[in-house]
């Protein structure tokens, strides 16, 4: 295990209200097991993370869609409570962008990578990422940014249906809106309808050429670019199973050597002068064999613990070592290692051999979060099933008859719905 400076605490910040974010738990355990005092700025309501014995203290997060100055204000209050400089690690895009914007204001209380300008915001913005890839020469799906609903329809036809629709700043999409950060669009009418919700989404809609999924086509790369720009603490991985299927997060991933993905990642970070933790998503075009960059996340990916090497160095430990001026041990990769998220791939979790994989939730030395997750997950699944049953249930006979005959009623549609 690398010798971390346990005098320096760590603060993890996540604005996203997702209680099933296993990446936060992975960071808590990684640093806590090394003896680092870990503070978590995140919603603790029902969160399994708060049950971890490695959490020193939970702190209330900023409100959803808080501005960068508001987020900085929350982090300054946490810094005052911690009372000594801490390594700050954003765990979602919203916090990574805010920390990048407010870096100078946060520096007295936190240790942060020397990130140039607003680079975190530029790479997290899907439209700006497309322009950066074109400038640097990194393969990226053809991307169009329509300026009207008519242009959205025309762009869909031009790219060839189906197309991928993304909001350029997905962290601004409001919870409960029914909008998703990325969807596959199958018609020009769907593209138009999405464009008309741009104001609600909070950012521009972009349409992207669709690269069909398939076995061994989805890859990711995790790493930490240190003070010199050298990428440490990670590697290339293959997505073996996703949730939702073909287009979601990594439910099962495997550390798999891939010189092409490694070279693309290092070339991109070097050209941009990027510093800090990164999580890149690639898809290989089965027709050309080229790897296309789909996303650049300027923070740890949820499955970053896949890349804990033989020295037990991962990206969050690499950042702590680097920012506290401790030497990083030489890379000691463990290709073939697997990472499984139990609630999304329970059968894979049962099949995997101990020692060859890491589970997202269960840990022998920290059992409480896994138990809390299963209780919360069963409740979540039950509520989803009940909601589907309610929506699929036929209307009562009295309501059906009333709609078929009789004079128009003054009762509103909303009142009818509430009576049903």
3-state secondary structure of 243: strand
> Which pLDDT belongs to residue 395?
58
For the chain, report the end-to-end CA distance as a whole number of angstroms: 60
Report the mean per-residue pLDDT for the chain: 91
Instruction: Tell me the pLDDT tens digit for each residue of 343-385.
Output: 999 988 887 666 689 999 999 999 999 999 999 999 999 998 9
Q: Give the confidence band of 419 by pLDDT, cuts at 50, 70, 90.
A: very low
Mind listing the pLDDT tens digit for each residue in 2-57? 689 999 999 999 999 999 999 999 999 999 999 999 999 999 888 999 999 999 99
Identify the DSSP state of 102: T
What pLDDT is stored for residue 310 in this prediction?
Answer: 95
- CA-based Rg of the chain, rounded to a whole angstrom? 23
pLDDT for residue 400 is more than 50: no
Q: In angstroms, rounded to a whole number, what is the distance separating the alpha carbons of residues 52 and 22? A: 12
In this model, does residue 247 exceed pLDDT 80?
no
Q: What is the pLDDT of residues 297-340, one digit of tens each?
A: 999 999 999 999 999 999 999 999 999 999 999 999 999 999 99
Regarding pTM above 0.75, the answer is yes
pLDDT at residue 87 tops 70? yes
DSSP SS3 for 166: strand
Q: Of residues 265 and 408, which shows the higher confidence score?
A: 265
Sheet holding 86-90, edge to edge: 57-59, 38-41, 10-13, 86-90, 110-111
**Residue 376's closest CA among 48, 53, 25?**
48
* pLDDT at 401 (0 to 100): 39
Q: Which pair of structure tokens corresponds to residue 75?
A: 């982090």
Q: Residues 170-204, buried b or exposed e (16+ Cβ, 10 A)?
A: bbebeeeeebebebebeebebbbebbeebeebbbb
E-assigned strands of 179-230? 182-185, 205-209, 218-225
Residues in the chain: 420
The span from the CA of 375 to the CA of 354, in Å, is 24
- Across the range 125-146, mean pLDDT stands at 97
CA dihedral 135, 141, 142, 144 (to 10 degrees): -90
CB 316 within 8 A of CB 89: yes
Q: Are 144 and 159 in contact (CB under 8 A)?
A: yes
pLDDT tens, residue by residue, 180-218 = 999 999 999 999 999 999 999 999 999 999 999 888 999
Q: Quick one: CA dihedral 114, 119, 123, 129, positive or negative?
A: negative
Mean pLDDT score, 276-286:
97
Q: Find out whether 280 and 297 touch, Cβ atoms under 8 Å.
A: yes
What is the distance between the alpha carbons of residues 94 and 15, in angstroms, rounded to a whole number? Answer: 7
> 80: helix, coil or strand?
helix
Give CA–CA dist 342/359, Å, rounded: 7
Q: Which residues contact 372 (CB under 8 A, 6 or more apart)?
A: 48, 51
pLDDT of residue 410: 36
CB atoms within 10 A of CB 374: 16
The whole-number pLDDT of residue 2 equals 64
What residue spans of 86-203 are helical by DSSP H?
Answer: 93-101, 103-106, 119-124, 126-136, 149-159, 188-195, 198-201
Q: What is the structure's pLDDT at 335?
A: 96
Nearest C-alpha neighbor of 124 from the set 278, 303, 323, 345: 278
pLDDT digits (tens, 9 = 90+) for 188-198: 999 999 999 99
Over residues 221-238, the pLDDT tens digits come to: 999 999 999 999 999 999
Question: 162 preceded by cis ω (within 30°)?
Answer: yes
Q: Which residues pair with 236 in a beta bridge?
A: 221
Q: Which tens digit of pLDDT belongs to each residue from 89-127?
A: 999 999 999 999 999 999 999 999 999 879 999 999 999
């Amino acid at each position: 295990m690398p010798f971390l400076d346990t005098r320096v605490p760590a603060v993890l910040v996540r604005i996203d209200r997702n209680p099933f974010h296993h990446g936060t738990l992975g960071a808590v355990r990684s640093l806590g097991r090394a003896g680092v005092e870990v503070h978590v700025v995140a919603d603790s309501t029902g969160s399994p993370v708060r049950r971890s014995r490695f959490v020193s203290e939970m702190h209330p997060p900023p409100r959803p869609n808080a501005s960068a100055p508001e987020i900085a204000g929350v982090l300054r209050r946490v810094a005052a409570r911690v009372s000594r400089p801490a390594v700050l690690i954003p765990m979602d895009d919203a916090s990574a962008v805010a920390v990048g914007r407010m870096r100078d204001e946060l520096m007295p209380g936190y240790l942060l990578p020397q990130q140039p300008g607003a680079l975190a915001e530029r790479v997290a913005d899907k439209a700006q990422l497309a322009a950066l890839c074109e400038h640097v020469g990194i393969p990226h799906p053809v991307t169009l940014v329509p300026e009207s609903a008519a242009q959205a329809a025309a762009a869909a036809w031009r790219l060839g249906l189906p197309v991928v629709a993304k909001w350029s700043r997905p962290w601004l999409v409001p919870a409960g809106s029914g909008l998703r950060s990325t969807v596959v669009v199958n018609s020009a009418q769907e593209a138009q309808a999405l464009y008309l919700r741009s104001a609600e989404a909070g950012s521009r809609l972009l349409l992207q050429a669709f690269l069909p999924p398939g076995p061994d086509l989805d890859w990711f790369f995790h790493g930490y670019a240190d003070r010199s720009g050298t990428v440490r603490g990670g590697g290339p991985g293959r997505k073996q199973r996703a949730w939702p299927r073909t287009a979601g997060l990594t439910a099962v991933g495997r550390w798999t050597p891939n010189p092409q993905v490694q070279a693309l990642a290092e070339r991109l970070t070097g050209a941009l002068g990027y510093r800090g933790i990164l999580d890149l998503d690639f898809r290989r075009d089965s027709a050309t064999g080229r790897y296309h960059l789909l996303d650049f996340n300027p923070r740890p990916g949820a499955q970053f613990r896949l890349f804990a090497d033989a020295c037990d160095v991962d990206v969050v430990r690499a950042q702590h070592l680097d920012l506290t001026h401790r030497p990083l041990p030489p890379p000691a990769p463990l290709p073939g290692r697997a990472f499984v998220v139990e609630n999304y791939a329970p059968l894979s979790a049962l099949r995997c051999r101990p020692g060859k994989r890491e589970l997202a939730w269960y840990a022998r030395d920290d059992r409480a979060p896994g138990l809390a997750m299963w209780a919360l997950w069963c409740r979540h699944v039950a509520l989803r099933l009940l909601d589907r049953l309610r929506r699929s249930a036929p209307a009562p006979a009295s309501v059906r008859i009333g709609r078929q005959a009789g004079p128009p009623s003054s009762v509103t549609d909303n009142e009818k719905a509430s009576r049903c």
